[in-house]
């Protein structure tokens, strides 16, 4: 099993911001985790040909972004970003029986999940409060989409083809 773990604490970074550089992981049963807790977060991850693999990104406070990827069957992406600038953008392509979960709490929310050619796959987006938005495209059969947005300017577009 390949395991790659990055932990960045903004208090420990000289510039006062945390940035997890783009990571690319290739291979089965892989696990890629990025945890960042503090100011100008950013993250970027990609797993390709990663059968039965997991990407997990948690960023707690400030200018989050994140962007992930993945491309294989039985893979899972979980992203949690808490308070301030959230954005996300999650892909998952060419894989069946895969899943995405997003969760973003409060302020600028956004999300955008695409799950192309991913049959029997699930998407969940929860966003709690403020400028919300979400967009889920899914081009697959027997797949599921759940979107929950609670307070402020909500918008949600979901499509299954």
pTM value? 0.79
Q: Give the model confidence (pLDDT) of 38-69 as tens digits.
A: 999 989 988 888 788 899 999 989 998 899 88
Residue whose C-alpha is closest to residue 38's, from 69, 74, 7, 3: 7
Q: Give the model confidence (pLDDT) of 77-126 as tens digits.
A: 999 999 999 989 998 887 788 889 989 999 999 999 888 876 788 899 99
Domain ranges of the chain: 2-160
Q: Tell me the two tokens of residue 138.
A: 């899914």
């Amino acid at each position: 099993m390949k395991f790659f773990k990055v932990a960045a604490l903004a208090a420990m970074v000289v510039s006062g911001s945390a940035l997890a550089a783009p990571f690319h992981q290739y291979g089965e049963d892989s696990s890629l985790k990025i945890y960042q807790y503090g100011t100008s977060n950013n993250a970027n991850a990609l797993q390709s040909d990663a059968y039965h693999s997991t990407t997990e990104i948690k960023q707690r406070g400030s200018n989050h972004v994140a962007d992930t990827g993945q491309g294989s069957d039985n893979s899972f992406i979980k992203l949690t970003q808490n308070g301030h600038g959230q954005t996300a953008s999650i892909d998952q392509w060419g894989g069946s029986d895969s899943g995405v979960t997003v969760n973003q709490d409060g302020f600028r929310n956004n999300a955008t999940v695409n799950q192309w050619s991913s049959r029997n796959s699930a998407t969940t987006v929860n966003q709690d409060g403020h400028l919300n938005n979400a967009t889920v495209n899914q081009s697959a059969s027997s797949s599921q989409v759940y979107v929950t947005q609670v307070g402020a300017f909500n918008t949600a577009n979901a499509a299954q083809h």
